[in-house]
């Protein structure tokens, strides 16, 4: 945010008459500074330090270019002065820092351009980790024997064919069809404050979503097939429908990031009997804690907005992704964090596959570059220029996984499983 504030101040100083020309020039300098920082920086904190220094340098040079070119009115001078003063702290000690960076670059035989930005060699392109960035390339990788630990991340989209609506699809998504509950806004049904005020809508919705009302989909069966073949390291799911378990995937292989109906507690933390909870849900009655002197509201262990995710999620996310050989992401909008950020947990040498109705988790090139420089996750990269590991299949999840199973030589097994179950 400090970087963004500084650049915003510089752009403000360059607005006004002939501001477009100045901003274009400023953008050129800024882009070169970022590019140089990206190539010169190391990783993590080092990247962040380098990009901060060069962004400040860019800001200083952009301001100087604006001052040299523009003949501004007194009012504009005041605005420019105000913007400059707001950046004073940002650029404190800048000259010495930039000088040291420049000297280091020169000592290494580097050149500077007319804007005093180090001229950096183009980075070496990464060697592709897949033969093709599609399901065929992923299937070939799986069959090669190099892929022994697969982590799967799934969202509501994999359960749509079971009859459970996803949350965000316009028109058919759950959030677009909650008017009958008279909610102040759709997500209120999963908010603690609203639940305390009016728990009835959640209990009515829970009756529709309760496990046992739906059957696993071909996608769930594919994930079980990965387990059966010894390839499934873990399945991280956003879903509360427990269809992964219904498909036969062992509990130790499932991480229910947002909880499910398998356990229940009152809002003070007392354990509630899940059979009693289900009986209340079936009747449409709100359950209260039966501990002596409590009488607090009871809910299944579904993570509401504002609640912490299960400790098991954090513990396993910290280890599973580092060790995986392939990440498969399916049926999710990647709109809810921290789950969405898991796509960046595997190492940069791990291939990734997205099976989804639409592209998600991909930033524009500029933002992707900035996040990498700052040591943050950059999401998927399906571009022809930068992609070396991300495969994409767009369409219904079941169709995508059936194609993957077929290309892996497991098509008949998956079809028989779906017909049998």
* Residue-wise pLDDT tens digits, 302-316: 898 878 888 899 999
Per-residue model confidence as pLDDT tens digits over 57-98:
555 554 554 454 444 433 444 433 443 443 343 333 444 444
* pLDDT range class, residue 254, cuts 50, 70, 90: very high
- At residue 205, the pLDDT reads 82
Does residue 4 have a pLDDT over 70? no
- Integer Cα distance of 176 and 385 in angstroms: 38
**Lowest-pLDDT choice from 175-184, 251-260, 335-344:** 175-184
Q: How far is CA 170 from CA 117, 166, 281, 334, in A?
A: 47, 10, 28, 16
List the alpha helices (DSSP H) in 291-385: 311-323, 365-373
366: its two tokens: 């500029």
Three-state secondary structure call for residue 288? strand
Q: How far is CA 397 from CA 211, 324, 408, in A?
A: 21, 22, 16
Q: Are 97 and 55 in contact, with CB atoms under 8 Å apart?
A: no
* pLDDT range class, residue 163, cuts 50, 70, 90: confident
- At residue 23, the pLDDT reads 47
- At residue 97, the pLDDT reads 45
Does residue 147 have a pLDDT over 50? yes
Three-state secondary structure call for residue 131? coil
Most confident of 11-25, 74-88, 204-218, 256-270: 256-270
Segment 336-341 shows an average pLDDT of 88
**Residues taking part in catalysis:** 258
């Amino acid at each position: 945010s400090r970087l963004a504030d500084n650049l915003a101040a510089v752009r403000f100083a360059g607005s006004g008459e002939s501001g477009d020309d100045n901003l274009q020039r400023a953008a050129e300098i800024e882009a070169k500074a970022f590019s140089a920082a990206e190539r010169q920086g190391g990783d993590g904190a080092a990247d962040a330090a380098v990009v901060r220094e060069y962004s400040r340098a860019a800001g200083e040079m952009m301001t100087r270019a604006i001052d040299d070119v523009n003949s501004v009115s007194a009012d504009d001078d005041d605005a420019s002065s105000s913007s400059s003063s707001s950046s004073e702290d940002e650029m404190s000690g800048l000259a010495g820092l930039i000088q040291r960076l420049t000297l280091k670059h020169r000592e290494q035989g580097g050149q500077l351009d007319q804007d005093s930005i180090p001229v950096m060699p183009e980075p070496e392109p990464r060697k592709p980790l897949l033969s093709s960035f599609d399901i065929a390339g992923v299937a070939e990788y799986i069959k090669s024997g190099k892929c022994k630990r697969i982590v799967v991340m799934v969202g509501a989209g994999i359960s749509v064919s079971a009859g459970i609506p996803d949350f965000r699809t316009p028109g058919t998504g759950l959030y677009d069809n909650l008017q009958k509950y008279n909610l102040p806004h759709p997500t209120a049904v999963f908010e603690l404050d609203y639940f305390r005020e009016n728990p009835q809508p959640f209990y009515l919705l829970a009756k529709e979503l309760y496990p046992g009302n739906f059957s696993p989909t071909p996608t769930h069966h594919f994930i079980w097939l990965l387990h059966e073949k010894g390839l499934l390291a873990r399945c991280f799911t956003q879903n509360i429908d427990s269809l992964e378990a219904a498909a036969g995937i062992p509990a130790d292989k499932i991480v229910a990031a947002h909880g499910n109906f398998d356990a229940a507690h009152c809002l003070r933390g007392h354990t509630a009997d899940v059979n009693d909870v289900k009986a209340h849900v079936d009747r449409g009655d709100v359950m209260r804690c039966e501990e002596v002197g409590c009488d607090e509201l009871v809910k299944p262990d579904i993570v509401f907005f504002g609640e912490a995710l299960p400790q098991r999620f954090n513990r396993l996310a910290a280890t599973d992704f580092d060790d995986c050989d392939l990440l498969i992401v399916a049926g999710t909008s990647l709109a809810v964090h921290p789950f969405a950020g898991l796509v960046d947990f595997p190492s940069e040498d791990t291939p990734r596959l997205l099976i989804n109705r639409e592209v998600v988790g991909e930033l524009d090139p500029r933002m992707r570059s900035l996040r990498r420089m700052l040591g943050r996750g950059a999401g998927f990269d399906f571009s022809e220029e930068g992609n070396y590991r991300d495969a994409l299949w767009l369409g219904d999840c079941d169709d995508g996984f059936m194609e993957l199973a077929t290309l892996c030589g497991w098509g008949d097994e998956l079809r028989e499983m779906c017909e049998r179950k």
